Structure 1
Amino acid sequence: MIPTTFSPARHRSLGDHTWQDQAVCRSTEYNPVDPEIFFPEPDETAWITAAKSLCGQCPVRRTCLDAALEGGDTHGVRGGMTEEERAPLHEKLASRLDYSRVNATIAGRDVHLTKAERRAVVHAAYRHGLSEQRLAWLLKVTEEHAQKLYRETRRALRNRDLKKSPQATAPSETDGERLGREDFGAAA
């Protein structure tokens, strides 16, 4: 089953690193933070605890975790999780389906999307009647590719609807007589 979330988080845009200015781990004159604390050895539990406690106070912890997962960052404590704790999330990332990301994309934000989320954007755009040009702009693809995505969506929806409709049954023979062409009217 595909993991699905409905988180209301504000997602970072493509190439956006401004969230780092709000991070608790950012060292300032009044808040000196040693960056090495976030890269402890596995047996340095005091450093791990200290790094996680800082992450626990951070207003952009979720964004930091998303950036680590989307960037394939497997080193250090990021988003309040160690390398080992993030490993299963890295494995599941490709199948993530977060509808808040889908909605943010439909609203016009440049959000990092997984394949499952991109498919959901296509489906939502089709259902909302967005033009192929708008879909192309949202997904950063060509209009021809957007047309192809809409064709595939129409086909998938049509096939799904065909599977739902009751199966046509063969006409039964009445009183031992076979039905002939005349019995079906002019359309036959």
Structure 2
Amino acid sequence: MHSPETQQPRTLGDNTWQDRAACLSTAHHQVDPELFFPEPDEMDRIREAKALCVQCPVRNVCLDAALENGDSVGIRGGMTEEEREPLHKKLEQRLDYARVNEVLAGRDIHLTKAERRAVTRIAYQSELPASRLAWLLKITEEHAEKLYRRTRREIRNRAVDQQKKASTGKKAPRTRTKALSEAKAKVQARTDLGTAA
């Protein structure tokens, strides 16, 4: 049995992962491709297909590819059409910072709208030139400048809202960064106590 997929996200247009799929039919391992297109009531075929998917080293990549390509037919990534349907509907809201970091490092991978916004915000806060953002997102420099202007407005508006809440006595909501810092401080305090004893 293979270990779960832990590699980087595939680049756009890369289908080489299919060469490592458990469902790939070879001379020594015959797999009927129709197994992955059962009728909803063919539970034995569904179980058999999913059993192959469980041991597949590229199961997560297969699922990502199905979602990103809008492939809603058959069993993909260990999930039936019905099981994948909610994921298809929520795909644009997916925010995976591993994928965001891959793009910031220069890899050309599929991003959702939420992930593209995160890349823009981080690039803006890191003071990357608009030309670099354009290259990262495969857009024009003019479009990148427009995204930077929108990000600047969003950050400014968020700061104004927090100031208003602070002046009216309401506690400003914790940011993700602040919450992580507080959690790290608590863990460090516990660690310090443990080592001091």
TM-score by length of 1: 0.82
Unaligned runs of 5+ in 2: 169-197
Looking at structure 2, the residues matched to 158 and 61 of structure 1 have their Cα atoms a distance apart, in angstroms, of 42
Q: Residue 161 of structure 1 aligns to which amino acid in structure 2?
A: A
Task: Show structure 1 runs of 5+ residues with no match.
Answer: 1-6, 169-188
1:132 aligned onto 2:130: yes
Q: Contact 1:9–1:100 (CA<8 Å) still a contact in 2?
A: no
Q: 1:57 offset after TM fit, Å? A: 0.3
After TM superposition, the runs of 4+ consecutive aligned structure 1 residues lying more than 3 A away are none
**1:135 alignment partner, SS class:** helix
> 2:92 maps to which residue?
94
How far has the Cα of 1:11 moved from its partner? 0.7
1:67 and 2:65 aligned: yes
The match for 1:10 is: 8
SS in structure 1 at match of 2:128: coil
Output the aligned Cα RMSD.
1.6
CA shift, 1:10, in A, is 1.6
Task: State the 1:167 CA deviation.
Answer: 4.3
Give the whole-Å Cα distance in 2 for the aligned partners of 1:153 and 1:61: 35
SS class of match (1:141): coil
Q: Which has the higher helix share?
A: 2
Shift of 1:155: 1.4
Q: Which sits farther off after the overlay, 48-57 or 149-158?
A: 149-158
Does the CA-based 8 Å contact 1:110-1:138 persist in structure 2?
Answer: yes
3-state SS in 2 of match to 1:113: coil
Using the TM superposition, give the Cα deviation of residue 154 of structure 1 relative to its aligned residue in structure 2, in angstroms.
1.0
Between the aligned partners of 2:10 and 2:44, the Cα distance in structure 1 is 31
Matched residue count: 162
Distance 1:31 1:131 in 2: 51
Deviations 1:122-164 (A, max 9, x none): 0011112211111000001000111111111111111211222
**Are 1:155 and 2:153 counterparts?**
yes
Secondary structure of 1:97 counterpart: coil
Cα deviation code 1:29-72 (max 9, x no counterpart): 11111111111111111110010000000010000001111111
2:33 aligned with 1:35: yes
- The whole-number CA distance in structure 2 between the counterparts of 1:43 and 1:159 is 52
Map of 2:50 onto structure 1: 52
| Greater Cα radius of gyration, structure 1 or 2 | 1
Counterpart for residue 123 of structure 1: 121
User: Equivalents in 2 of 1:79, 1:105: separation in Å?
Assistant: 23
Structure 2 CA distance for partners of 1:129 and 1:116, relative to 1, 3 Å: same
Change (3 A) 1:9 1:116: farther
